[in-house]
Chain A
């Protein structure tokens, strides 16, 4: 890719690829759902009386591929929100915390373009990590065996992953406003707590941060998420990208 935006993408990609934060978060997103879902299935097959097996009974809805994929998808919803949330917070906040933001001024490309390039790279990271996570989930399922002949609903975990990723974009804005990643990480914790509260009061279906988990089945089989509710996280992402880009365009140094 050529042009100023292509150069921005190249630089942001290089920074993301090299960062330990990205590597650790990716490993957790890719491996945790498959391994935890497999562990849950194995605990149920063994008729274990352990506390893990008791929790597995709450997570696993259905049998065969449906139960296994559903379990992995529930783990994905949480893992993606936490890991990408941390990654998004770091990607934007580190420029302030580490003082590297000064080098992003006085450049041919505007700061709005820099924010947009960061969002683009984060989006690509989200999609690639989601796909890898699903491939590992399906691979572990095949290795596990005895899940029946009905093909798995692979699109469900993909959709849940992407919606969870959408819900992390506000943290980019928060990291910019608070000029560091700690404020955004605090915001992430606040979102998790708020999601629990809103869901426990029955409003989770209309709370964007609860939608992916409920769609995955975290709230049990009685809760159904409508198409209009699935749009909410996408709207959150779009609004956040615009807000972050606008905020970066008007960014100043020494005027915190």
Chain B
């Protein structure tokens, strides 16, 4: 468990031992609306590790995550989960995947508990185990007092927690989170960090994107910087000034490709 008061890269996850690759992109290319969004991106997330994906708005982070989860097809290259091309992944393996992509969407007519229960059932959990899992996940995220409240009556931050709980309730092995700490209160950010760390410590693979570099510095084992659809560098966040290293990479990428700089 990380010390929530630690700053910078000093709380690096040295005790985790990254294992085999569970989530992988190899030369992934994709165009949307005539614009090339991804130019042959490579990425590998290993079991027992937390991999951060950072970049400016429009860098291609969400598109890459969608492709890795089978939400969007790649124009070229290969995306795989558990070593299997994502389009051919068997149902049993999808049960081990949790994701929160896009803005946190909850069903407004359902209570928070029903929203999380629905996610648990959709991920293949048996009804018998769902109630306990929902309660446990809600406790982890500080959601207990909101469980009986309908989605339409929840604040943005609480909806974010419900969406996160929906991604976590079935205890996934592969977890993909797109800007998960947006709208969360400081206490929930700490809880989320502990949950994500717990997934990696159980041997899972976590891919997380965020604009909060200080948060990622405490959390991630590896940081991949994506800029204008290209991987422009990989960083080990331990013991470095991540924010400075990030902007150095962006600056260098713009120098290397001045024609693409905005």
> Which residue numbers of A lie inside 8 Å of B, CB to CB?
4, 7-8, 10-11, 14-15, 18-20, 98-100, 102-109, 252-255
CA distance A107 to B114 in the complex (A): 18
Contacts of B95 in A (CB 8 A): 108
Contacts of B91 in A (CB 8 A): 4, 108-109
Contacts of B122 in A (CB 8 A): 7-8, 11, 103-104, 107-109
**B67 → chain A, closest Cβ, in Å?**
9
* Chain A proximity mask over B85-119: 1 for CB below 8 Å, otherwise 0: 00000011011010101110111111000100011
For chain B, the count of residues having a C-beta within 8 Å of the partner chain is 34
**Can you list 7 contacts pairing A with B, beta carbon distance less than 8 Å?**
A18-B109, A99-B102, A103-B122, A106-B71, A107-B122, A108-B95, A252-B71
**B55 → chain A, closest Cβ, in Å?**
16
Complex contact A99–B71 (CB within 8 A): no
CA distance A18 to B118 in the complex (A): 13
Contacts of B107 in A (CB 8 A): 15, 18, 98, 100
Contacts of A255 in B (CB 8 A): 32, 72
Give the contacting residue for A99; candidates B62, B92, B99, B105; CB below 8 A: B105
**A95 → chain B, closest Cβ, in Å?**
9
Q: Is B123 an interface residue (CB 8 A)?
A: yes
**B193 → chain A, closest Cβ, in Å?**
23
Contacts of B50 in A (CB 8 A): none
Q: Is B16 an interface residue (CB 8 A)?
A: no
Complex contact B71–A103 (CB within 8 A): no
CA distance A108 to B92 in the complex (A): 6
Q: Which residue of B lies closest to A17 (CB)?
A: B109
Which of A19, A103, A109 has the most C-beta atoms of chain B within 10 angstroms of its own C-beta? A103
Complex contact B109–A19 (CB within 8 A): yes
Q: Is B66 an interface residue (CB 8 A)?
A: yes
Complex contact A15–B71 (CB within 8 A): no
With A4-B91, A7-B122 as contacts: A254 and B103 at CB distance below 8 Å: no
Q: Is B36 an interface residue (CB 8 A)?
A: no
CA distance A97 to B53 in the complex (A): 28
Contacts of A14 in B (CB 8 A): 110, 114, 118
* Chain A proximity mask over B118-144: 1 for CB below 8 Å, otherwise 0: 110111100000000000000000000
Contacts of A20 in B (CB 8 A): 109
CA distance A18 to B111 in the complex (A): 10
CA distance A205 to B109 in the complex (A): 40
With A14-B114, A15-B118, A18-B114 as contacts: A106 and B97 at CB distance below 8 Å: yes
**A90 → chain B, closest Cβ, in Å?**
11
**A50 → chain B, closest Cβ, in Å?**
40
Contacts of A108 in B (CB 8 A): 91-92, 94-95, 122-124
**A26 → chain B, closest Cβ, in Å?**
14
